[in-house]
């Protein structure tokens, strides 16, 4: 049951969103999410995945800017998926693809140029580990992953170990991590024999 309406403008892009008490940050846009969006640079050719989309703020913001056909939203929570689908329609983006998926299990494609996520960083690191490792495999060469958390060291080290490097932006008490896929194999992986 959707119970709150948020009318938000982020970097000049307006969205009208309905939320519910059981969803993440139902009464206002999360400060970490806004920190993440402040570092997102989109191009019209991007293929974007909003991983753990909640009610859809990040993915719908991207879709308004580069087109609904360029963006996929996913979440493990069926209520979040329903809210994101409703919000897509509410914002004139009914063709946005919204998938119910536990991490990447229900996402059939790859070749993303941008994966965005505000992972559940207050829990153990298993979810974030899967997002980072499996996300690397779903990115196109040159693609980027941006994550936002309040924890720095574990995420910086994990992204560095998988991607070979990471940029860390500190914004409003949050850390926005940006890593780029520069090779087909994890950093430090032994080359595959022909």
What would the pLDDT profile of 148-162 be if each residue is shown by its tens digit? 999 999 999 999 999
- Predicted local distance difference test score (pLDDT) of residue 182: 96
- Predicted local distance difference test score (pLDDT) of residue 27: 86
| pLDDT averages per 10-residue partition of the chain, 194 residues | 82 95 89 96 97 97 98 96 97 97 95 94 80 96 96 95 97 97 84 60
Please indicate, yes or no, if residue 185 is contained in any of the structural domains: no
Please indicate, yes or no, if residue 98 is contained in any of the structural domains: yes
What would the pLDDT profile of 111-143 be if each residue is shown by its tens digit? 999 999 998 766 678 889 999 999 999 999 999
Number of folded domains that form the chain = 1
Please indicate, yes or no, if residue 31 is contained in any of the structural domains: yes
**Token representation of residue 13:** 């892009």
Please indicate, yes or no, if residue 186 is contained in any of the structural domains: no
* Cβ-based neighbours of 18, under 8 Å, separated by 6 or more: 2, 3, 4, 5, 6, 55, 83, 86, 87, 90
Structural domain boundaries enclosing 66: 4-180
Q: What Cα–Cα distance (Å) separates residue 153 from each residue in 36, 67, 166?
A: 17, 35, 11
Q: Residue 117 maps to which CATH number?
A: 3.40.50.150
pTM, full prediction: 0.93
Please indicate, yes or no, if residue 86 is contained in any of the structural domains: yes
Please indicate, yes or no, if residue 88 is contained in any of the structural domains: yes
């Amino acid at each position: 049951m959707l119970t709150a309406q948020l009318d938000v403008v982020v970097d000049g892009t307006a969205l009208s969103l309905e939320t519910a008490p059981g969803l993440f940050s139902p009464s206002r846009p999360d400060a970490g999410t806004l920190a993440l969006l402040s570092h997102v640079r989109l191009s019209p050719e991007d293929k974007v995945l909003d991983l753990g989309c909640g009610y859809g703020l990040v993915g719908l913001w991207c879709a308004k800017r580069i087109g609904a056909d360029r963006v996929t939203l996913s979440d493990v929570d069926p209520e979040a998926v329903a809210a994101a689908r409703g919000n897509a329609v509410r914002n004139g983006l009914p063709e946005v693809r919204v998938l119910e998926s536990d991490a990447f299990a229900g996402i059939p494609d790859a070749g993303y140029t941008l994966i965005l996520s505000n992972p559940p960083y207050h829990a153990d690191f298993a979810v974030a580990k899967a997002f980072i490792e499996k996300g690397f495999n779903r990115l196109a060469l040159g693609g980027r992953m941006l994550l936002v958390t309040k924890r720095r060291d574990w995420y910086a080290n994990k992204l560095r170990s998988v991607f070979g490097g990471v940029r860390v932006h500190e914004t409003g008490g949050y850390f926005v991590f940006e890593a780029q896929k520069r090779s087909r194999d994890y950093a430090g992986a032994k080359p595959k024999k022909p």
